[in-house]
Every structure is written in C-alpha cells, then in structure tokens.
Amino acid sequence: MKKEHHISTYFFQSINDLLDKTPKDELKEMINKEWLTKVLFSEFLLLRISTIDSLQDEIGIIFSKFGVSHSSFFIKNHSIEELILSIKMYLISWSTLSELILYFISSTLNLGLSEKDINFGLLQRNKHFLSTNFPDIFKKHSKRIDFSNTTQSRNKAIHEGLLIDDVVTELQKNFNQLHSKRYSLLNYGNQITDEEYNNGLKSLNKELNELVEQKTEEYKKHYSDTLKLLKEIMEESAQIMFKKKIKNL
C-alpha cells in the first residue's frame, strides 16, 4: 500500500491557499494579532492533528502485516489467527480515527460538546453542523464507507471478540476441525493420519493465502475511501476556521 499523505496536509494546504488569496492588509492584521499562532497553530489544534496523523501511521503498519504470522525476505507466512487479529485491529483503529475526526469537527465549529457525548447522530441534529458542507460530504461518501455496518463490526469485535464475516469465520472453523481430527483426545483411535492432516492443511493454507489477499484489498479500499472523506473534511474545516476568524479581525 503506497504511503498516503497525512490528513493534516490537506488542512494546512487549504490554509496556505487561503492565505495566498488574502489581501496584504488583512494578512498583515492577522499577523499583528497573532492569529496564525494563536488559532491555526495553537497547541490544542496541533495536538489533535498530530494524534490523527499518528493513528494514520499505525493503520499503515496494520496493512503492512495484514494476516502475516512471520516472514522471510522472500516469503510471507499467514495464519487465520493473524488475519482475524488484523481485521479487528483495523476496525478498532478506523473507529478511533472516525471519533477523532468528529472531535475535530466539533472543535472547528466551537460546539462546546464534551468529547464523551460526541457522535455522528448528535452532530446531525446540530444546526451549526447542518449549516456547513459537512452533511453533504458525509452523504457523498457514506455508501462506499458504510458507516453503520463498519461500526457494527467494530462493536462486535470489541464487545464480543467476534467478526461479522462468514467467510473468515468458516475458514477458521475448518482449520480448527482439521486440527481436532488429528490431535484431539476426543478423536482418540479415529485420528486422521499425518498425510491426511498435511494434505488438508495444504489445501486450507491455499484458501487462506487467497483470502488474505482478498481481505487486504477489501480493507485497503475501505481505508482509501475513508481518507477521501477525511481530505474533504479537513478542507472544509480550514475554510470554516479561516472565514470565521477573518470576520473577527
């Protein structure tokens, strides 16, 4: 997966473009009143954006090791457990990223909401949020990202330790059944042979390698679509913050 620009890049690039278009007398006034350092580069804003960027780096690491149990220079070995763990880690990290973006939007609009209370449903009922381009941006990307099902999958993973993915869980069951047929004491006297076990393992590992590739591409696509949404959110946030502060000069 190619390294994506940090989300903050789009925010600061938008601010830079707006500054380039600002008349010199207004720009001078902004500098005199220390607007750039007090607002755009405030400690709070930089900390919030830095946290988002760091989480973006962590998600990149998840994809670099997606489903991999260990690897050599030429070969990556996969395991069904590592695939399940990778999917769970992505879902949790994606959810955290989504929450951080909601906090960022709330801060941009100065909604004064406690972070523990912020959710998308609450924002959708807020008149300040509805007066911006944010609702249209979310609507534009909602079908591809599928917030409801992705959040449901995250909740299932966190609260029950389960995946809502029949293909992955079925393959996990097949691995467990094969192991049981060879090594479980419940099958004592009826265990399959080493040859049967190895042949079954070879077949399942082939399915696993194909599934890891499929799921990696699936979640990379989901993440890429999420980044497109976040890019537009950052650009809209920059516009709102810039215009709002210009009026207060």
Q: How much is the mean pLDDT over the chain? A: 87
- Express each pLDDT in 38-94 by its tens digit: 666 666 777 888 899 999 999 999 998 898 876 655 667 889 999 999 999 999 999
**Considering only CA atoms, which of 57, 8, 19 is closest in space to residue 233?**
8
Lowest mean pLDDT among 36-45, 100-109, 152-161: 36-45
Collapsing DSSP to helix, strand or coil, 1 comes out as coil
Q: How far apart are the C-alpha atoms of 108 and 76, rounded to whole Å? A: 44
Q: How far apart are the C-alpha atoms of 81 and 85, rounded to whole Å? A: 6
In this prediction, residues 115-119 reach a mean pLDDT of 85
40: alpha, beta or left, given left = phi > 0 and alpha = psi -120 to 50?
A: alpha
- 77 phi, psi to nearest 5 deg: -100, 135
Collapsing DSSP to helix, strand or coil, 29 comes out as helix
* Token pair recorded at residue 57: 């780096």
* 234 neighbors 134 (Cβ within 8 angstroms): no
| Global pTM value | 0.87
Q: How far apart are the C-alpha atoms of 117 and 78, rounded to whole Å? A: 40
Q: What is the pLDDT of residue 230?
A: 94
- Express each pLDDT in 166-208 by its tens digit: 999 999 999 999 999 988 877 677 889 999 999 999 999 999 9
